[in-house]
Chains A and B, each alone.
Chain A
Amino acid sequence: MSKVYLYILLMAVVTYLIRALPLTLIRKEIKSKFIRSFLYYVPYATLAAMTFPAILKATDYVASSIAGFAVALILAFNKKSLLTVAGCACGAAFLVELLL
């Protein structure tokens, strides 16, 4: 059972190094316009790629996932807060599942 702790520590070390190396090693402002632009677009590309199509399998039914996805898009487009968007997406999916 102690092997579980080795698993946990190993993944913690790997994950921490990935996060810590760039932050400690890159001290100066990056001058390259390309790299600056690239880094600006990274979060949008990553989170979009992680969201779709994975969101379709987030719940037990595709229909409820689509409902939650649609509600989240509409609310986010209208600049509602993180919590409102996430909460209403879950709520919409729950309503759809009740009807199924």
Chain B
Amino acid sequence: MDVGVSEEESGMSSGSLQDFKEGCQNAIPICLGYIAVSFAFGIESAKVGMTPFQAAMTSLLNVTSAGQFSALEIIARNGSFIELAVLQFIINLRYMLMSCALSQKLDSSVSTGHRLGISYGVTDEIFGVSVLKKGKLYPMFSYGLIFTSVFGWVLGTVLGAVAGQLLPQRLISCLGLAIYGMFIAIIIPETRSSKAVALVVICAMVMSCVFTYAPFLKLISSGFRIIIVTIAVAAVAAILAPIKEERNE
């Protein structure tokens, strides 16, 4: 790691080694949660005939839970490339919204290179920690988050692919909750201080339920469902309860 950022001490820097460490620390829970979730992915990948190396490569290059799980089904039945590309686009389109939100958190002086680096690690959890972080977001902090999280994601994948079958089914079953536990831990605390956020969470859950079980609506794929619910609920909330501007300088 290069610590020589002294030329840019004016607050426009990409951050210091300290920020990197802080990012790593913040990502420890994500890392452990990822090990649990990607462990399940490793098990599934072995079932469709992927080697541990291929599974690890998938995790390292994609870092997307829902996308990877859904891809396994297409790979298993030798589906078309177009189908895979469209499915990934739809399921992961929410990252585009997250990247838009994240772009507002970065100083406008952050270089394209750093932006390309941060882009690699836009996941639900890394985004959640990044965007809710107090103060400015430094690239080094993001790299710490990404490094630690992806380490857990790949490690869990390999463990699952190699040794998954050794665990009792009951344990594997319960590990499936880990990722949702993480989501809940990210969104629920804010509902205490903001009624608008509480309503957003409840409405999104109710609407997602309707789309899952109602006739016709349930034909919409899970990726599209999440996109529709997100855009509808966030747009209505933005109209009814616009955020107060605090960052006027």
* A89 to B95 Cα, complex, angstroms: 26
Docked-complex contact A76 and B189, CB < 8 angstroms? yes
The one of A9, A24, A68, A86 in contact with B182, judged by C-beta atoms closer than 8 angstroms, is A86
Interface locus among B3-11, B14-22, B28-36, B155-163:
B28-36
* A16 to B119 Cα, complex, angstroms: 7
Docked-complex contact A8 and B57, CB < 8 angstroms? yes
Known contacts A44-B187, A44-B204, A86-B182; is A15 also within 8 Å of B177 by CB? no
- Tell me the A46-92 residues at the B interface (CB within 8 Å): 46-55, 58-61, 64-65, 68-69, 72-73, 75-77, 79-91
Docked-complex contact A7 and B173, CB < 8 angstroms? no
Q: Which residues of the partner chain B approach A36 to less than 8 Å between Cβ atoms?
A: 104, 243, 245
- Taking residues whose C-beta sits less than 8 angstroms from the other chain, chain A's interface range is 35 or more
Docked-complex contact A7 and B71, CB < 8 angstroms? yes
Q: Which residues of the partner chain A approach B104 to less than 8 Å between Cβ atoms?
A: 26, 29-30, 36, 39
How many of chain B's residues have a CB under 8 angstroms from any CB in A? 105
Q: Which residues of the partner chain A approach B191 to less than 8 Å between Cβ atoms?
A: 77
Q: Which residues of the partner chain A approach B188 to less than 8 Å between Cβ atoms?
A: 73, 76-77
A-B contact pairs, 17 of them (CB 8 A): A3-B78, A4-B75, A5-B57, A7-B81, A14-B92, A15-B92, A18-B96, A26-B100, A27-B103, A33-B245, A38-B238, A41-B197, A41-B237, A44-B204, A49-B208, A53-B205, A77-B191
